[in-house]
Amino acid sequence: MARKIIAGNWKMNLNLAEGAALVKASDDYLNANPAKHIDVIVAPPAHQLVQTVKLSTNTKLSVVAQNMCAHENGAYTGEISASMLVDAGVELVIVGHSERREIFGEDNALLEAKLHKALEYDLYPIFCVGESLEQRQAGIHFDHIEKQLEAGLKNFSADQIPHIILAYEPIWAIGTGETASPEQAQEMHAFIRKFLASKFSATVADETSILYGGSVKPANAKDLFSQPDIDGGLIGGASIQIDSFLELIKIGESILR
């Protein structure tokens, strides 16, 4: 059975005090309302990783890095290595977010290398895939997602795949206020799970978490999380407001099983 996850990606938002307030509120909420069905993950900016780890006392609250270098320690100015993340107490890392692909030009070969490096250091990667509006309108969105999955996962064994969390994020629904309908999201999640079953096994497909990321908010979370192949959300803007993030945790706990 796949893990059910509510993951908040703060992106380049929140100062130290704001980040501390958000993670402490999440931690306090989980201590007062123990989560039985979900795991909660927060992804602060790099300078807040150590602080966030220290403030996360609940076993259901984990910290994920937003990015990681594919190389070991060395002359890579501005990067952060897997060993540094482990040293900071981080448990997961986002790989291949659409903003890393689109803005910073990270290609499939680099992302595959990052996935291997993350697992080498026992970090759970959240591997993101998604299509643009143009690709969806052209009817090639399934082909595009399959190519991203094929390129990223081709050199992993069936035993390794359940340690990789997948996130489907339609690029056209990130930060735009647009959201894939529950039916559109479910259709793609089912496609991804079918891909995993065909390449690895039905058991692997069942055990792999697939999150939806694309303008998830309290108003639409119930309908999205009710879909059979959606195991939770990778949430952007709604995760940096305390009230909305706590509401998403509450919805996730009540819907995701």
Residues marked active site are found at 97, 169
Closest-CA residue to 231 (of 41, 63, 101, 67): 41
Amino acid identity at 224: L
Element at 95 (helix H, strand E): strand 92-95
Beta bridge partners of 5: 39, 232
61 — phi, psi (to 5°)?
-115, 115
Assess contact for 43 and 8: CB atoms under 8 A: yes
Alpha-carbon radius of gyration of the chain: 17
For 1, half-sphere exposure in the C-beta direction (CA atoms, 13 angstrom radius) is: 8
Q: How far apart are CA 30 and CA 78, in angstroms?
A: 34
